[in-house]
Amino acid sequence: MKIVLFLLISIMLLACDQKSTNGNTIVVDVRPELTWKQGHGQGINIPLPELEKHKTELLQYDTVIFVCETGQSAQQATSYMNAQKGHETVFKNGVSWTNYQDCP
């Protein structure tokens, strides 16, 4: 039980740490549009399968923080965008949007 609690607190601190950024930043929720419409935090919705269509748009930001329901799709988006060559944009995985919106 203590280990689970420690992991949950660690994940929350990591997500909150990633919320603090400088410069031109955007939060992108990569969940499907219908799911996003049922509830979301700040930022925009770009479903994961549509990410490639929005590469150029996202590269205009200094920092892009991806969120989703559990963090898995956000991690996929982060990995995909970080694999793009020749950019200075920082891509971060912000885990679950419900945890992210509670950060200070």
**Taking a C-beta distance cutoff of 8 angstroms, is the pair 92, 18 a contact?**
yes
Q: What is the mean pLDDT of each run of 10 residues along the chain (104 residues)?
A: 40 45 79 87 90 92 88 90 82 64 46
Could you tell me the CA-to-CA distances from 23 to 26, 61, 63 in Å, in that order? 10, 8, 7
**pLDDT given for residue 54 in this prediction:** 95
pTM: 0.70
**Domains defined for the chain, CATH in brackets:** 2-100 (3.40.250.10)
Number of other CB atoms surrounding residue 31 within 10 Å = 22
Number of other CB atoms surrounding residue 88 within 10 Å = 6
**pLDDT given for residue 102 in this prediction:** 45
Could you tell me the CA-to-CA distances from 79 to 3, 19, 87, 90, 93 in Å, in that order? 27, 18, 14, 11, 9
